[in-house]
C-alpha cells in the first residue's frame, strides 16, 4: 500500500489541478516552479512525499518544450524525494502527432518523449484522448488513456431534430461512430485530400447531411483550417447547421479568428489546455471541464479499484 494521496501541478494548467483537487476534496501539495534568467527551470517540492502516492498534473501544451521539461524535472525531484508511486497526469500529450517515421531520417518524437518521462521517474501515465492510441505501447509502464466524450456530448443533449456526427477525416471515423452511437445519430465522413501540412486541397462528404444538425468530432483543433473548411462543405451539402467538438483546444496561429469567421453555431472544447489570452477572442467557444473524469481516475488508481469504465468512448 502507498501512503497518502498527493496532488502536484506545474505551471501549464494550474486551474485544472485546482478543480481536480476540489473533486477529490484535497489540497495541492506546494511546489516551486520558476525560471532562471538564462531560461533554465528550477523545481523544488515544498512538502514531504516520502512513501506517498503522488500525481503530477501537467499537460505538455504550448510552450511544449518548456512544459515538458518542467514535468520531467518534477518527476525526477519526486523520485529523489522517495515518493512511493509517481503518476504523471498529462491531459494533453504533446508530440503525439509525431508517432511514426514520416521520412527516412526523421525521429519518432512521441517515443522519445515517452522514454524521457519513464527515465525521469513516471511509473504510470494518465492521459486523455491520445491522438494515436498506439502511443500507449511506447511506455513500459501502465498508461490510462481516458476519453472526454461524456462531457463533450453533454453539451449537445438539448439539440432537437436529426443529428449527424461527422468525422473531418478518415482517421477519426472510429471516434465519430462511437459518438453517433451514444447520441443515437447517423454518421458521415469527410474525405479530404491534403497537398501539404495545414492546407486542404479538396473535401467531399460521404454520408447524408441534408437538413440535419451536423456535429464535427475531432480529438483536437490546432490551426482550425481543416475543421472550418469542413463546416463550409457541410453547409454546401445541405446541413441545417454545423457545430463542432474536440477534446484539445490547441488553437494555434489564426485558429480563433478562423473559428469566429466560420459558420459554426458553437464549438465545444475541454480544459485539458488552458485558453489563456485566447479566452474571449471567439464567443463561439464553450469549455467543458474534464476535472471530474480525471479526479475519478486518480481516486480509483489510488484506491486500487478499476478505471476500465473510463476507457470507453
List residues with catalytic annotation. 192
DSSP H helical ranges for 184-268: 225-236, 255-261
Residue with cell 462528404: 205
On the CB side of 159, how many CA atoms lie within 13 Å of its CA? 23
The answer to whether residues 221 and 231 touch, using CB atoms and an 8 Å cutoff, is no
Residues in the chain: 313
Peptide bond into 85 cis (omega under 30): no
Angle at which helix 291-303 crosses helix 14-24, to 10 degrees, equals: 60
The answer to whether residues 237 and 216 touch, using CB atoms and an 8 Å cutoff, is no
| 3-class state of residue 247 by DSSP | strand
Burial class (CB in 10 A: 0-12, 13-18, 19+), 256: buried
The answer to whether residues 263 and 239 touch, using CB atoms and an 8 Å cutoff, is no
The answer to whether residues 3 and 51 touch, using CB atoms and an 8 Å cutoff, is yes
Q: What angle (nearest 5°) sits at the alpha carbon of residue 200, between those of residues 179 and 249?
A: 45
Quote the cell numbers at residue 17: 489541478
Amino acid at each position: 500500500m502507498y501512503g497518502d494521496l498527493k496532488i502536484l501541478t506545474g505551471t501549464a494548467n494550474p486551474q485544472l489541478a485546482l478543480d481536480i483537487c476540489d473533486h477529490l476534496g484535497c489540497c495541492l501539495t506546494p511546489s516551486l516552479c520558476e525560471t532562471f534568467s538564462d531560461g533554465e527551470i528550477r523545481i523544488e517540492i515544498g512538502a514531504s512525499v516520502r512513501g506517498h502516492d503522488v500525481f503530477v498534473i501537467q499537460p505538455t501544451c504550448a510552450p511544449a518544450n518548456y512544459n515538458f521539461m518542467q514535468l520531467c524535472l518534477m518527476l525526477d525531484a519526486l523520485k529523489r524525494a522517495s515518493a512511493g508511486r509517481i503518476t504523471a497526469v498529462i491531459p494533453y500529450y504533446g508530440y503525439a502527432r509525431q508517432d511514426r517515421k514520416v521520412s527516412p531520417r526523421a525521429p519518432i518524437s512521441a517515443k522519445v518523449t515517452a522514454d524521457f518521462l519513464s527515465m525521469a521517474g513516471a511509473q504510470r501515465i494518465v492521459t486523455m484522448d491520445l491522438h494515436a492510441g498506439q502511443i500507449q505501447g511506447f511506455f513500459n509502464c501502465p498508461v490510462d488513456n481516458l476519453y472526454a466524450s461524456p462531457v463533450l456530448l453533454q453539451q449537445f443533449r438539448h439539440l432537437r431534430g436529426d443529428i449527424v456526427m461527422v468525422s473531418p477525416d478518415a482517421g477519426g471515423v472510429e471516434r465519430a461512430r462511437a459518438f453517433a452511437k451514444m447520441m443515437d445519430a447517423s454518421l458521415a465522413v469527410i474525405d479530404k485530400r491534403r497537398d501539404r501540412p495545414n492546407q486542404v486541397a479538396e473535401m467531399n462528404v460521404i454520408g447524408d447531411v441534408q437538413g440535419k444538425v451536423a456535429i464535427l468530432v475531432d480529438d483536437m483543433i490546432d490551426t482550425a483550417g481543416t475543421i472550418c473548411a469542413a463546416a463550409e462543405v457541410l453547409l454546401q451539402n445541405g446541413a441545417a447547421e454545423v457545430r463542432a467538438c474536440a477534446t484539445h483546444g490547441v488553437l494555434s496561429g489564426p485558429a480563433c479568428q478562423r473559428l469566429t469567421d466560420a459558420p459554426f453555431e458553437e464549438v465545444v472544447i475541454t480544459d485539458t489546455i488552458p485558453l489563456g489570452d485566447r479566452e474571449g477572442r471567439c464567443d463561439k467557444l464553450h469549455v467543458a471541464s474534464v476535472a471530474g473524469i480525471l479526479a475519478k481516475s486518480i481516486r480509483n488508481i489510488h484506491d486500487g479499484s478499476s478505471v476500465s469504465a473510463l476507457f470507453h468512448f
